[in-house]
Structure 1
């Protein structure tokens, strides 16, 4: 099992799911390029390159094939990996975030809540330096069904990690690569067609909801939809029990 996190968190988000899956799976939980405790390069934040990062991790561990469970930007990295290495992915769970260039991507970009996709300029890093908690709280609050479910201990933990040198730069670059990601994904779909492996597309009830399945049917042939109840975007903080059950049920029935 490979679990890929998203922005505002690290691989630590997966603790409840990893604890369940490790009973009968090898569980691999990397931090994405530039985030968490991973190295902080200046470049390479397009998702095609990061899909190569995932392939490198699996090669180092001598894993030839895996199931993917991904959230947020992890969806995008996982999609790139699955497109380039479909023979290495058995099943694929994508949770509560669209994929650049796939389905109604241009409409998604018009949502004012997603202003941070285009946040940039020479002063962006200076503006948030020392204020990482303020910046991240905005996302944890606005994308939650109930902000209190994203607890204070988790907020402090992630704010500390995102305050590490180079971490906010890496986070911004994840978003700035979206235009290239959309080009790459459209080219892959045109050349290879949709993903063939079984896909579970989960949305938070108060976030993407059943639209996740609509989005992913533009990029995959065998899509099962699902909704995490009583949750916004931060599914592992807001309703981990339901998320674990939905993921486990999908993996067990295939």
Structure 2
């Protein structure tokens, strides 16, 4: 348990934070700001402020508005450090000093909104580009060899935060929200691997990267594989955390799924918060390894996106494509996988219920030169469940 700061230090930090907010209020927000949102700053006890943003204009009110788009909960010192650029918001979130409820993506923008121009290069920056005609929200941190992080189905770039923070020590790390998810555009279309590979190619152009290593989790791993098959000269290495392959068994519902159109998701579909938390916890071998606030933040973000018609359609379209992908044949995943020439590291979770570690033997047959490792007592999200081991393996492979 963290040691509580003396009351005099808390009051000093509170006054300094108040001065920081007032100074930002006088200066206005960056010219690139187009947000309209309310951000509540809860000083870990119900006291705090609510910041209202409308483009470049900002207003400040005392008190924590329960209807704010996002609520950032931390002690005054932590919030002050994040806003002044002396501490990373991602680091504070990962080590439990800062909690978020509501719009998680909005909280990830706070450093840039409040003017941390002198923050160290390792600290995260929230940016946007237009790639393949689609607005793409992404986080960037660090300098060095470029690495692009690709998240899984129903997730956002926040699911890759431990990897972003670890690798940003000596890499330029770029973590986009895939089209259809998070803050990126959500066109009504088929979200298949070929679409994502073409988008990824355009995204690399927009962020000024000629060649990068790709790290993907679950569906993001499948996107990374397709990216390397589509443009092998642009991909240095692949690190794949429990990538979702084409199903070989349990294909008896293929014809039914073909008939079910994702556009049916236009109809409202309420998902209770507790149910989402339970579903997320099933992805882990030992859910207790993660603090409850992380589950709450992830569930809030999923529900926020899933509550929109386009968010639901994109989710079901991507899930449908994962199930419908042909395993064999000229266009089949497993036959095409044999043509992958990019050096690849596959990391599986021994207790992964979603993508069983048994897929490792199929990968080994298709790619005898690839490295395939099964982590004991690990589920579907090794970057969160066993971050030290997962990132040690990733770092070693990227350095070879």
TM-score for both structures, normalised by structure 1: 0.81
Residue 17 of structure 1: aligned partner: 163
- Give 1:239 deviation, angstroms: 2.2
Question: Structure 1 or 2: larger helix share?
Answer: 1
Residue 144 of structure 1: aligned partner: 284
Q: Rg bigger for which structure? A: 2
Matches within 5 A, 1:214-233: 214-233=361-380
Q: Distance in 2 between matches of 1:226 and 1:192?
A: 18
State which of 178, 190, 193 in structure 1 corresponds to 2:322. 178
1:161 to 2:301 alignment? no
Matches within 5 A, 1:240-251: 240-251=387-398
Residue 89 of structure 1: aligned partner: 235
Which deviates more, 208-217 or 87-96? 208-217
Residue 131 of structure 1: aligned partner: 271
State which of 214, 223, 229 in structure 2 corresponds to 1:68. 214
Partner of 2:205: helix, strand, or coil? helix
1:118-157 Cα offsets, whole Å, 9 max, x none, are 8946796267622164664453133321334363333223
Q: Distance in 1 between matches of 2:366 and 2:385?
A: 28
Instruction: Say whether the 8 Å CA contact 1:36–1:162 is kept in structure 2.
Output: no
Instruction: Count how many residue pairs are aligned between Structure 1 and Structure 2.
Output: 244
Aligned-pair Cα RMSD in Å:
3.2
Instruction: Say whether the 8 Å CA contact 2:258–2:324 is kept in structure 1.
Output: no
1:93-131 Cα offsets, whole Å, 9 max, x none, are 11213322xxxx322657x9xxxx889467962676221
Question: Structure 1 or 2: larger strand share?
Answer: 2
Residue 35 of structure 1: aligned partner: 181
Q: Distance in 2 between matches of 1:193 and 1:225?
A: 15
Q: Distance in 1 between matches of 2:191 and 2:329?
A: 15
Answer 1 or 2: higher relative contact order, Cα 8 Å, separation at least 6.
1
Unaligned runs of 5+ in 1: none
User: Residues 162, 132 of structure 1: CA spacing in aligned structure 2 closer, same or farther, 3 A cutoff?
Assistant: farther
State which of 344, 355, 373 in structure 2 corresponds to 1:199. 344
- Give 1:179 deviation, angstroms: 6.2
